[in-house]
Chain A
Amino acid sequence: MKEIYLPGDKLPASVRVSRLNQNAIRRQGNVLFATVVGSVSDEMFMPFEMVYIPKEGDSIVGIVTGRRNVGYFVDTGTAYEGLILSRETRIELSIGDIVCGKVDRIEDEDTIIVSHAKQLEVGRVLELPASKIPRIIGKEASMISLIKEKTGVNIFVGANGYVWLSSKGKLDKAIAAITTIVNKAHMEGLTDEITKFLGEGDVHGNA
C-alpha cells in the first residue's frame, strides 16, 4: 500500500510545491512537511482532504444570493462570500443565477472579489469536496476533457468545489463519472476505470 502522509510528516526531497497544493505543504528551511493527509506520486503531493483556501487566480462557481449598490453577492459554499463589483463589470444578474469567475483578490479576510464573472446557463451544480477538484480536472485537464467529450455535457469546475454541468448531453453519465472520481480519488486505476465507463456507448451520446 502506498505510503500515506499525515500532517507533520516529512515529505521526500523530490516533492515540488505547486500552485494547487501550496497550503498542503509547509516548508521549514530545506525540508518540506505535509500539512494534511495525502500521498506522493510523480513528485507531487496530493492531499486526500483539504479545506478550501481561496487563492488569486482560482476559477470558482457560485450562486447569486443578493444585490446591493456595491455589487452582486455570491454564495461559494465556503466561509468566503463572493462579490462581483458593480464598478468593475456591466453584467446583469438575478438572485439564483449560477456564475463562474476568477478570484481576483480577498478583501477584509472574508470576501472574494470575483472578476471575469459570466453567467452560466441553467443546469446542475454539484457541491463537492474542494480537495477532489484537482483529480476531477486531471493532469493538463485530461480527465475533465474526457468526460466532456464522451458525454457531450458542458462542465465548469470551480476550485471551491462547486461544479456546474449544462443540462444538455448525457448528464447522468457525467455526474456518475464525477461522483466515482470523488469517491476513489486516492485509488490507482481510476483513469482507466473512468475511461472504460465513459467509453460504453458511442461518441454521439447513444447508450
Chain B
Amino acid sequence: MFMGTHNPNLKLISDSGQRLDNRAFDQLRNIRIDVGVLESAVGSAYVEWGDNKVIAGVYGPREVYPKFLAKADRALVRTIYSMSTFASLEEHGRAGPNRRSNEISMVLGEAFENVVMIEKFPAKMIDMHITVLQAAAGTRIAAFLAGIAALIDGGFPMSDIAAGVSVGKADGHLVVDLNKEEDNFGQADLPIVYSSSDDILLLQMDGKMTREEVKAALEMADTKSKVVMDMIRKAVGAKYEGAISNRLKL
C-alpha cells in the first residue's frame, strides 16, 4: 500500500525492463466479468480488473424525470459513476459526487449513447448506475466494461459492443493497463475505448506524449480492446452454458 510522498528513486520500470508487477509492457492485468448479478436490475455486471472491483446495474427504459429533459426522438442514457466510501484511501477515492466523478459520468454516458440504439426509445431514459467498490487505477475503463456488459445482459439493442484500455508512459516506455504506481507517477495516461466497428468512443489524456507515442498508443489499445471484447463474449456465453449445440426445436 502506498504510504506517502513520491520516492524520487522509485523506478517504475527496472533496469532489466520489468514493470513493478512483473507484467510485460503489453500485458493486461487479470480481468473477470460476471453478468446478471443483480436481481432487480434489467441488466447488470460485476467486473474485477486487477484490484479494481466495479458493479454496474442498468434500469429502464423508463419515463424521463424531470420531464422537460426528455428528447422527442431518442432515449437519454443517464450514467451515474460513483465510488463507494471504501473504494480507496487516496484523494480521488473520496466518495459522493464530485467534479471527477461527474466528469467520468458524463464521458462514460456519451460513450454508451453511441452504442445503444437510442432512437428505438424516444422520450425515454436508460439509467446506468456504476459503482466502484475498490479502485486501483483504470477505474473509468473498468467502469465502462461493467456498463457495456450490463447493457448486453439487459437486452438493450446496441449497434456494437465496445471496450477499452488505458495506455501510459512510465519511465519513457509505453505500457498498457497502468497499475496504481504507473498511474500516479508515470509521465502520461491515455484511456481509450474502441467499438467493435473500430470507432473510438472515449479518448482522454493526462501528461505528455510525442505524436509518435500517441499513434503507437492507439495501436496498442486497439489490439488490447479486442482482447477485452473477447472476454465479454466469453462472459456472456458463460451465462448460457448449456446453450443449443444443434437444431433448436420450438
- A-to-B contact residues, CB < 8 Å: 1-2, 4, 6-8, 23-24, 26, 33, 35-37, 39, 41-42, 46-51, 53, 78-79, 108-110, 129, 131, 135, 138-139, 142-143, 184, 186-192
Contact = CB atoms under 8 A, between A and B. Distances in A.
27 contacts: A1-B237, A2-B245, A4-B236, A4-B240, A7-B152, A7-B160, A8-B159, A23-B157, A33-B159, A36-B157, A41-B244, A41-B248, A46-B248, A48-B155, A49-B152, A51-B157, A109-B72, A109-B124, A129-B155, A142-B250, A187-B242, A188-B244, A188-B245, A188-B246, A188-B247, A191-B249, A191-B250
A147 to B, nearest CB: 14
Interface string B42-72: 1100000000000000001111000000001
Given A51-B156, A131-B155, A187-B242, A6 B121 contact: no
A8 B158 CA distance: 7
A186 B159 contact: no
Nearest to A40: B248
Interface in B199-247: 232-233, 236-237, 240-247
Contacts of B157: 7, 23-24, 26, 35-36, 50-51
Contacts of B249: 188-192
B247 A36 contact: no
Given A7-B158, A8-B196, A186 B243 contact: yes
Nearest to A38: B155
A169 B236 CA distance: 38
A42 B248 contact: yes
A36 B248 contact: no
A42 B247 contact: yes
B250 A139 contact: yes
Contacts of A1: 237, 241, 243, 245
Contacts of B62: 79
B111 to A, nearest CB: 14
Contacts of A37: 152-153, 155, 236
B197 interface: yes
A117 B196 CA distance: 44
B154 interface: yes
A110 B62 CA distance: 9
A193 to B, nearest CB: 10
Contacts of A186: 240, 242-244
The main secondary structure of chain A at its interface with chain B is loop
A138 B236 CA distance: 24
Contacts of B248: 39, 41-42, 46, 188
Contacts of A51: 42, 60-61, 154-157
Interface of B: 42-43, 60-63, 72, 115, 117, 120-124, 152-161, 195-197, 232-233, 236-237, 240-250
A131 B152 CA distance: 13
A80 B120 CA distance: 13
B250 A138 contact: yes
B250 A36 contact: no
Contacts of B159: 7-8, 26, 33, 35
A122 to B, nearest CB: 28
Nearest to A46: B248
A176 to B, nearest CB: 19
Nearest to A47: B155
A75 B102 CA distance: 35
A192 B250 CA distance: 10
A108 B123 CA distance: 9
A6 B245 contact: no
Nearest to A143: B250
A39, A79, A190, A191: residue with the most chain B Cβ atoms closer than 10 Å = A79
Contacts of B161: 6-8
